[in-house]
Structure 1
Amino acid sequence: MNLAEVIIKKNVEKHPLKSAVGFKKKDAGWKELSWNKLSEIIYKTANSLKNMGIEENDRVTIYADNSAEWVIFDLAIMSIGAITVPIYSTNNQEQAEFILKDSGSKMVLVGNQIQYDACLSILQKEETELKSIIISKKAVWIKKEFSSFYLEDFIAKSSSKLEFTPREKDDTATIIYTSGTTGNPKGVVIPHGNFINVFNAHFEYYQFKNFEEELSLAFLPLTHVFERSWSLLCLYGGARVYFLEDPKDIAKELVEVKPTMMCTVPRFLQKVFAGVLDKAEEGSPLKKKIFGWALQNGKQTAEYKRTGSKIPFGLKAKETIANLLVYSKIKEKLGGRLWFIPCGGASLSPEVTQFFESVDIHITVGYGLTETTATLTAFPFRNFVHGTCGKALPGVELRIGENDEIQAKGNGIMKGYYNQPEETRKVFTEDGWFKTGDAGKIDAEGNLTITDRLKDLMKTSNGKYIAPQMIENLLTNNNFIQQIVLIAEGKQFVSALIVPNFEFLKDYLKKNSISFTNWEEIVHKKEIIDFYKEKIKEIQQPLSDFEKVKKFTLMPAEFEISSGEITPTLKVKRNIVLKKYADIIEKMY
């Protein structure tokens, strides 16, 4: 039941020479490692960990960007029965120190100079349990006298043969610290059995054909349970996984790598959707007409596919032409081969999923948490309902509890929060159901709809309840809005802090001959504020009057991870933003 053993052994035995992982070397393009070569490096790394005194149940941290080294270290740690503790590569020294100290990690893998310098400072403190630092890249300058080793040197003399440490299904594989929208993060304890059970549930649910031929591009942080679980699932099933170090390169690398699968977050899909619509709007009247025609045909075809019905011959013929004229061009921007995209982390509006289904890319909207080893529910291939989060995977039970809270049982539920029995007790009911903290409803067919985070629900001074995520999601579907934070708690009306999509806004300025100086000046220009007023008025038409944003402030810069305003998974830390911009908010009232 050792997760690493299950993943590695069956693939090495089945197809030793088949490519397993891909990575990009500077100035050398994408390279691959076969299952044989990957296993050899993992075994050498695992033996090196043991040689350095790492034992069963010791915690070992990974504090680095996505890379082949990341997953190699992860699998090596679990191979010997130790426990992987990921830290977001964007976390600062204070955040990293909290996790290293709280977990009692003895060793850490880092990927760049900033991460190394932070860990070196931590290692030199008396109260730390950190004993050594491994560095994945030789470009990083290190101090060898402080137990610092380049990974290449660290594993050079180790044996490439390994005896896996036996693990029971309830033995801990990893402690994943939540990104913490409020307070300090908590360490979620996930055992080996959770991953294997969740992987098997996915394969039972989807009945993939020729999964070993798939190629996934990992661009979300491996620190997050979503990308890590998805990438390990792909390896478990024998598919290839390419690891993208810098997510900012995603547009370029999609075209180079040409993945067939890729997990993502709603914002990525919203940006693609908005970009396509904007491009179509710029076209000639004929091109606009062709685009509209193609999209309409795509929606009709997608609906037949969704229900499993036979597509009429005439519609098939139209679809062939639409694909040639429109869809193929959209798909080429995404590499040309993408067909399956799991998406989670926040709600995604029906018009976005319908658009991608129209161009024959299946967006598998899902719902889950770190505490549930990612997926609880997901769209099936047939008879899914747009606007929902799909149905429960095999082995998952759901119910709606007090205050419409979604509660779950199943073999993906965490063991608890590390060293926090009281916090663990708070999130379980007396009869053993995990309380997600999300409000939702389940229809007669078992489709789950998230209504909001319970702690995010806002009550205006008029007694009206506002569900901010739904409204924020509606507004950020527009290509001129990058980020938004709604304000309503205790207020007489809804207001918002809005970060423009500066790329689209810059084009708008150019087309309308509005001189550009800096964004601070632009967001205060009357014509820009009026432009956004009209946009927001148009977008908000479906909302009830009490839900509509009445006043807003345009922000001159994006909310940043480094400033603590958003988490590494791009979720706004609402409390921090409200506190930081309290003066601006007060002026709107």
Structure 2
Amino acid sequence: MPAPGKATAMSTLSTAAEAASVGSRFLRSCARFGDAVAFRHPSAEGWVGLTWNEMADRATALAAGLIELGIAPGERVAIAASTRIEWVLADLAVALAGAVTTTVYPNTNAEDVAYILEDCGAVAVFAEDTDQVAKLRADGRWVGQVRTVVTFGRRGDEDTLGWDDLAALGRTRLRTDPACVRDTVASVGPEDLATIIYTSGTTGRPKGVELTHANWRYLVEAVASQDVLRRDHVQLLWLPLSHVFGKMLLAVQYEVGFSTAIDGRIDRIVDNLAAVQPTMMAAAPRIFEKIHGRVQSSATARGGIRAVIFKWAFRIGVDAVRRRQGGQAVGFWGRARLAVADRLVFHAIRERLGGRLEILVCGSAALATPIAEWFAAAGLPLLEGYGLTEATCVSFVNRPGRHRIGTVGPALPGTEVRIAADGEILLRGGGIMRGYHRLPEATVEVIDADGWFATGDIGELDADGYLRITDRKKDLAKTSGGKYVAPTAIESALKAACPLIGNAIVIAEGRKFASLLVTLDPDAIDGRSREEIESALGQAVADVNAGLNRWETVKRFRILPRELSVEAGEITPSLKIKRAVVAHHFAEAIESMYQEDPS
């Protein structure tokens, strides 16, 4: 006798029409993969596994609980939580109940949380803890149209519902109405709304990006068609699931059927790599920059023969990478030296990161070429990709064995690309959003009558269709002399040149020359004196300047007294810099660099 709700969860979904929604495709995968492990998550006893069947049963019970609470198809349900297994189950429950997931970063302030919930019309919220619950109250009542709050633990007070309480409600509903979830899933069509993701934005209020079930279907089928990901892959997932990048990785997993170890604690990434031994992981460039910086610092800080061998190995490795990228063969002696470098240095780095990594995907911001070359030399090529929330996350990505450093790869099947006269990248295809929520004028500004979406990024295509991003259109700075400066490229080069740098912000708009604000990475400075730090920064600036046009070169820099923070509004939750806010907060430091002419 199946457990209550199991027949509902595992009902066959055989036709394409029946598998048109996120929920139906998830259940179809559960029927295919059954007792294989779908997720592992940390607990007091260590890593705990959940099979596809168990995920389906738990998500179905939670979905039935939402239905019992009166949440109707198409209504909005928000998730305010960090990356953890409950986030995944809550999201699946929303999909199986036919509702629309709205994502909220856990470090979003109360004012912005209220704005998002009111704007999307959320009727229910999954809240991770009491801190998240507190943001939902205003004048003694829930904000906006919220009528139900579910916490990840036990019931917090008389106004909230505990996680187990919701599941119990669902199991009771399934006993009396076993078809409630199945019938709801069947009622959802491909053009119905699946997700609203609010772009954190570097300026102004966040905009809600509306993604349909058809958008997600396009994405997962396009990625799966490349035959890169396999069922036997093991993913380490730590990315914020409130961001489209993390959400995309879940959607692709449901399509392909690989296993994921999930833990959103960034400070545990390296330890988790060793414990989980994943074969794949995705991250923003900042994570790879920090790994690069820590490995470099620990290997070279004390000097001696170890530092000499380390530097020799990467000199040999990077040279081989550049040769191969240029279409040249690495000769016999080059291969012999690489084998020695691998045995002495590169193998140890790979073992430190779990020893089994095959696929490392990098996205959400620009990746500096020296960082990409360093990882490739160590036998850990970073597959850089490109996309936006408005295009369901990924439109271009490099493939294993065919990646070209400095590009974001060719387009996914079904995505069209065009470069406008001013260099802006235009996209069209199944991944393009339905529009911005309640902002028809903003939607028309970026999607024309023929369906072309203006990305706001500047780029160029090579003869083979590989895309190179040169900068954000709105981030291009124009000096007082009328010359254009691309800050992002300079900033990436500086962070690659000096692992002590946490963030680099180039100042050039309307100025006589380019200058630089720098924050330090506390893990990398490791007791260095101010003099040593300034010397290292000065050398990095000089090295980068050597490859720039005269008007692009950085003439002065200032070290900021602290790191940039989400709480201060200086960076977004996805780690993008809000330049205007930084310029306002550190106006005095900026002006000090322009008090005298540097010439």
List aligned pairs for 1:423-502, cutoff 5 A.
423-477=442-496, 478-502=498-522
Among 220, 236, 240, the alignment partner of 2:259 is 240
SS for the counterpart of 1:437 is strand
For 1:557, give the aligned amino acid: R
Superposition deviation, residue 195 in structure 1: 1.2
* Alpha-carbon distance in 1 for matches of 2:279, 2:491: 30
* Alpha-carbon distance in 2 for matches of 1:52, 1:373: 30
Q: Does 1:78 align with 2:90?
A: no
SS for the counterpart of 1:330 is helix
Among 570, 573, 583, the alignment partner of 2:588 is 583
Superposition deviation, residue 69 in structure 1: 0.9
Kindly indicate whether the alpha-carbon contact (under 8 Å) linking 2:66 and 2:170 is maintained by their aligned counterparts in 1: no
SS for the counterpart of 1:392 is coil
For 1:571, give the aligned amino acid: K
Among 130, 138, 153, the alignment partner of 2:165 is 153
Name the CA shift for 1:541/1:180 in 2 (closer, same or farther; >3 Å).
Answer: same
Superposition deviation, residue 236 in structure 1: 2.1
List aligned pairs for 1:313-332, cutoff 5 A.
319-332=338-351
Superposition deviation, residue 321 in structure 1: 4.1
Superposition deviation, residue 362 in structure 1: 2.8
* Alpha-carbon distance in 2 for matches of 1:173, 1:309: 47
For 1:49, give the aligned amino acid: L
Between 9-18 and 178-187, report the one with greater CA deviation: 9-18
Structure 2 counterpart of 1:417: 436
Q: Does 1:562 align with 2:567?
A: yes
Structure 2 counterpart of 1:504: 524
Kindly indicate whether the alpha-carbon contact (under 8 Å) linking 1:58 and 1:105 is maintained by their aligned counterparts in 2: yes
SS for the counterpart of 2:295 is helix
Between 269-278 and 177-186, report the one with greater CA deviation: 269-278
Structure 1 counterpart of 2:49: 32
List aligned pairs for 1:223-234, cutoff 5 A.
223-234=242-253
* Alpha-carbon distance in 2 for matches of 1:307, 1:228: 35
Kindly indicate whether the alpha-carbon contact (under 8 Å) linking 1:176 and 1:188 is maintained by their aligned counterparts in 2: yes
SS for the counterpart of 1:212 is coil
Superposition deviation, residue 372 in structure 1: 0.2
Between 389-398 and 3-12, report the one with greater CA deviation: 3-12
Among 21, 24, 32, the alignment partner of 1:14 is 32
Kindly indicate whether the alpha-carbon contact (under 8 Å) linking 2:31 and 2:53 is maintained by their aligned counterparts in 1: no
* Alpha-carbon distance in 2 for matches of 1:100, 1:557: 32
Q: Aligned pairs, how many? A: 566
1:502-530 deviations in Å (ceiling 9; x for gaps): 33323323xxxxxxxxxxxx6xxx77545
* Alpha-carbon distance in 2 for matches of 1:33, 1:236: 17
Structure 2 counterpart of 1:391: 410
SS for the counterpart of 1:24 is strand
Q: Does 1:174 align with 2:168?
A: no
Kindly indicate whether the alpha-carbon contact (under 8 Å) linking 2:239 and 2:264 is maintained by their aligned counterparts in 1: no
* Alpha-carbon distance in 2 for matches of 1:310, 1:488: 42
Structure 1 counterpart of 2:218: 197
List aligned pairs for 1:261-340, cutoff 5 A.
261-282=280-301, 285-296=304-315, 298-299=317-318, 319-340=338-359
1:2-54 deviations in Å (ceiling 9; x for gaps): 443344333322231111111112x3211111111111000000000000011
**Normalising by the residue count of structure 1, what TM-score does the alignment of the two structures yield?**
0.91
Name the CA shift for 1:547/1:113 in 2 (closer, same or farther; >3 Å).
Answer: same
Name the CA shift for 1:374/1:281 in 2 (closer, same or farther; >3 Å).
Answer: same
Kindly indicate whether the alpha-carbon contact (under 8 Å) linking 1:260 and 1:340 is maintained by their aligned counterparts in 2: yes
Q: Does 1:342 align with 2:361?
A: yes
SS for the counterpart of 1:198 is helix
* Alpha-carbon distance in 2 for matches of 1:220, 1:578: 28
1:133-187 deviations in Å (ceiling 9; x for gaps): 000123xx7221x2x1111121124236531233222211100000021110000
Structure 1 counterpart of 2:537: 532
* Alpha-carbon distance in 2 for matches of 1:309, 1:545: 32
Kindly indicate whether the alpha-carbon contact (under 8 Å) linking 2:294 and 2:523 is maintained by their aligned counterparts in 1: no
SS for the counterpart of 1:412 is coil
Q: Does 1:142 align with 2:156?
A: yes
Kindly indicate whether the alpha-carbon contact (under 8 Å) linking 1:216 and 1:261 is maintained by their aligned counterparts in 2: yes
Q: Does 1:548 align with 2:553?
A: yes
* Alpha-carbon distance in 1 for matches of 2:312, 2:504: 33
Kindly indicate whether the alpha-carbon contact (under 8 Å) linking 1:399 and 1:407 is maintained by their aligned counterparts in 2: yes
* Alpha-carbon distance in 1 for matches of 2:509, 2:373: 33
* Alpha-carbon distance in 1 for matches of 2:548, 2:48: 50
SS for the counterpart of 1:20 is strand
* Alpha-carbon distance in 2 for matches of 1:34, 1:383: 34
Among 122, 131, 144, the alignment partner of 1:128 is 144
List aligned pairs for 1:40-79, cutoff 5 A.
40-79=57-96
* Alpha-carbon distance in 1 for matches of 2:54, 2:326: 44
Between 314-323 and 543-552, report the one with greater CA deviation: 314-323
For 1:488, give the aligned amino acid: A
Gaps of 5+ in 2: 1-18, 595-599
Structure 1 counterpart of 2:5: none
Between 286-295 and 171-180, report the one with greater CA deviation: 286-295
Between 157-166 and 245-254, report the one with greater CA deviation: 157-166
Structure 2 counterpart of 1:105: 122
Q: Does 1:96 align with 2:113?
A: yes
Structure 1 counterpart of 2:206: 185
Kindly indicate whether the alpha-carbon contact (under 8 Å) linking 1:366 and 1:379 is maintained by their aligned counterparts in 2: yes
Q: Does 1:408 align with 2:422?
A: no
Kindly indicate whether the alpha-carbon contact (under 8 Å) linking 2:39 and 2:51 is maintained by their aligned counterparts in 1: yes
1:440-490 deviations in Å (ceiling 9; x for gaps): 111111111111111111111111111100011111122111111111111
* Alpha-carbon distance in 1 for matches of 2:324, 2:281: 21
For 2:206, give the aligned amino acid: P
Name the CA shift for 1:390/1:300 in 2 (closer, same or farther; >3 Å).
Answer: same
Between 317-326 and 55-64, report the one with greater CA deviation: 317-326
Among 214, 218, 223, the alignment partner of 2:233 is 214
For 1:133, give the aligned amino acid: V
Superposition deviation, residue 255 in structure 1: 1.5
Among 9, 17, 23, the alignment partner of 1:5 is 23
Q: State the identity %.
A: 33
